């Protein structure tokens, strides 16, 4: 490793980041929606957990078409979540406990309620140039707008272009129709976004997460995609590295902890994004490992996870990112994913083992681990019984789309129940009181029915709970340089259901083995040594791995 990579590894390898989905974390005022003061009230819990940074999802003014990822003002606080004074108090109190704050920057698009877009709708040429507008045919009308500029599909369903009759133009929205894509080819747009970074940097923020940031550079020539939904044209786009370097430099955040969410990205691109010599980002999220239960790449269909494919993806992204000087964000879960223990394992019969196998597998890898709120408790997917209980725009859209494709209402609901983003957005359970101590009012989204036993208060008192297992995992990473910055190599296992790898540093070796099945599997031989951590209390015979065992 070069000197610069070693310094980076020593810093990032010892950190653990905790994601807070603010709407569902802790409600301080009884309106059923989490808020900034609610987070402040829970800081002691987070400090005791042992994490270093709190990634907080967007709390900016927003019409909430996509739960805050449709930003109407980047430099203000949505009154639903509190005030700027509440934010300043959170920042001060977090710093007292050694916790950094990571803010979510949604820079691919703004809400159509944003002042910039409203000025564009009024015909202001300066702000029309802020967005990806394309002229419609001269004879287009509201009733007959003609063919959209391309056949690209929105990630939330339907065409990715919306016609504006008053302008006789189409605008691009890769997500909801209320989320208009910014035109990063316009240097004024990049300057505006750098100003946003400086605003929060001046308020003491020292970490940033960039939402779907690898989508911001669109191709100069727009063309139909006859092979897919269009993403191959705009993912990791033509000027993405140039633009990232510029905004990091002009925003004054070079050297701070940053992470990019990379949608449908490529390995080579992520090496470039995260190699410190390029001065772009500290680390990157990629989602390939979360698609191993997508039949033929289709999210809205079901299949059992493909464990050999999962292993191969870990091999690629761990070993090749290391070789190229890149850095991975390690995660199973976030606000856009169903609860992973229910999804990849068996929470009906092996709840504890399922809830601890997954973090054992990734927290010991090379990179920076992320914990999504409630993951440390083993929270499971919803037990909702009706589409009316869901709030997520994507889920509601696809419940309709799946039926339009020929599925019955029950078949469509089965898929939505397994895939919905709301599976990971149910409120955090703090205790066994009504609504899990999340709120004294009516929660914006229902809790999972098992919250009386799966909650912070109950698990804090139980040494064998997932919560206390997570604390041990975090402490282990902070205590062991080999886990923080050691090399990584995946091993051939005697079973396709077992993922095994080793970490090495300065002559030391750590062997990690994880059984991704509900049956016993043969274990790899280990020559002596001690067990640093295991999700089974008793030692076992050493020759086999028990169901969902990780050690």
* Catalytic (active-site) positions: 211, 261
Orientation of helix 240-250 relative to helix 187-202, angle to 10°: 40
Going by C-beta distance under 8 Å and a sequence separation of 6 or more, which residues neighbour residue 271?
Answer: 320, 321, 324, 325, 326
How far apart CA 387 and CA 380 sit, in angstroms, is 18
292: which 2 tokens? 């191993």
Orientation of helix 351-363 relative to helix 466-479, angle to 10°: 20
Task: Check if the beta carbon of residue 395 is closer than 8 Å to that of residue 338.
Answer: no
CA distances to 76, 95, 183 from 212, in Å: 21, 28, 14
In sequence order, the β-bridge partners of residue 179 are 111
Burial class from Cβ neighbours inside 10 Å (0-12, 13-18, 19+) for residue 391 reads: middle
Q: Which own/partner pairs from 373-376 qualify as long-range (CB within 8 Å, at least 24 positions apart)?
A: 373/18, 373/19, 373/20, 373/21, 373/24, 373/25, 373/428, 374/339, 374/424, 374/426, 374/428, 374/429, 375/332, 375/333, 375/339, 375/340, 375/470, 376/49, 376/466, 376/467, 376/470
Please report how many Cα atoms fall inside a 13 Å half-sphere around the Cα of residue 433, on the Cβ side: 8
How far apart CA 3 and CA 492 sit, in angstroms, is 31
| Alpha-helical segments (H) within 391-443 | 393-404, 409-419
499: which 2 tokens? 């993922």
Q: Which own/partner pairs from 188-194 qualify as long-range (CB within 8 Å, at least 24 positions apart)?
A: 188/126, 188/129, 188/130, 189/130, 190/243, 190/246, 190/247, 190/250, 191/250, 192/116, 192/130, 193/74, 193/105, 193/107, 193/247, 193/251, 194/246, 194/247, 194/250, 194/251
How far apart CA 71 and CA 176 sit, in angstroms, is 12
């Amino acid at each position: 490793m070069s000197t610069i990579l070693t310094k980076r590894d020593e810093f990032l390898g010892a950190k653990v980041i905790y994601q807070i989905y603010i709407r569902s974390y802790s409600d301080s005022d009884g309106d059923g929606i989490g808020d900034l003061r609610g987070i402040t009230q829970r800081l002691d819990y987070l400090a005791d957990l042992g994490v270093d940074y709190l990634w907080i999802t967007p709390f900016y003014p927003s019409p909430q078409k996509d739960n805050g990822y449709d930003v109407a003002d980047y430099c203000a606080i949505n009154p639903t979540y509190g005030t700027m004074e509440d934010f300043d108090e959170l920042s001060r109190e977090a710093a007292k406990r050694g916790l950094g704050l990571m803010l979510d920057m949604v820079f691919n698009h703004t809400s159509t309620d944003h002042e910039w877009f409203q000025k564009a709708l009024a015909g202001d040429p300066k702000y029309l140039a802020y967005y990806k507008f394309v002229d419609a045919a001269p004879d287009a009308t509201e009733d007959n707008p003609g063919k959209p500029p391309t056949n690209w599909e929105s990630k939330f369903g339907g065409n990715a272009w919306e016609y504006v009759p008053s302008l006789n133009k189409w605008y691009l929205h890769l997500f909801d129709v209320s989320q208009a894509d910014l035109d990063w080819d316009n240097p004024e747009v990049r300057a505006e976004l750098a100003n946003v970074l400086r605003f929060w940097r001046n308020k003491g923020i020292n970490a940033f997460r960039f939402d779907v940031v690898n989508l911001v550079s669109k191709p100069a020539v727009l063309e139909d995609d006859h092979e897919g939904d269009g993403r191959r044209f705009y993912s990791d786009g033509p000027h993405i590295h140039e633009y990232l370097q510029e905004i990091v430099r002009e925003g004054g955040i070079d050297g701070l902890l940053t992470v990019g969410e990379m949608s449908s990205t490529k390995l080579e691109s992520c090496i470039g994004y995260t190699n410190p010599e390029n001065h772009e980002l500290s680390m990157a999220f990629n989602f390939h490992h979360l698609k191993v239960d997508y039949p033929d790449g289709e999210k809205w269909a079901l299949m059992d996870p493909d464990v050999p494919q999962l292993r191969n993806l870990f091999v690629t992204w761990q070993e090749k990112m290391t070789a190229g000087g890149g850095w991975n964000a390690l995660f199973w879960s976030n606000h856009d994913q169903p609860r992973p223990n229910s999804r990849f394992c068996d929470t009906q019969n092996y709840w504890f083992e399922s809830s601890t196998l997954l973090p054992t597998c990734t927290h010991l890898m090379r990179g920076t681990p992320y914990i999504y709120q409630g993951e440390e408790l083993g929270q499971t997917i919803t037990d909702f019984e009706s589409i009316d209980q869901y709030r997520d725009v994507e889920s509601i859209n696809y419940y309709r789309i799946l039926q339009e494709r020929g599925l019955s209402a029950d078949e469509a609901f089965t898929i939505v129940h397994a895939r919905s983003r709301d599976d990971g957005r149910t409120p955090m359970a703090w205790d066994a009181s009504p609504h899990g101590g999340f709120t004294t009012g009516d929660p914006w989204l229902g809790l999972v029915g098992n919250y009386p036993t799966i909650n912070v208060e109950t698990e804090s008192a139980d040494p064998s709970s997932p919560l206390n297992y997570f604390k041990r995992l975090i402490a282990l990473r902070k205590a062991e340089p080999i886990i923080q910055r050691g090399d990584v190599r995946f091993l051939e296992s005697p079973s396709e259901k077992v993922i095994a790898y080793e970490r090495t540093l300065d002559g030391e070796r750590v062997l990690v083995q994880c059984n991704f099945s509900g049956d016993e599997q043969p274990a790899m031989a280990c020559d002596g040594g001690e067990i640093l951590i295991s999700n089974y209390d008793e030692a076992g015979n050493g020759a086999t791995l028990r169901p969902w065992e990780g050690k």
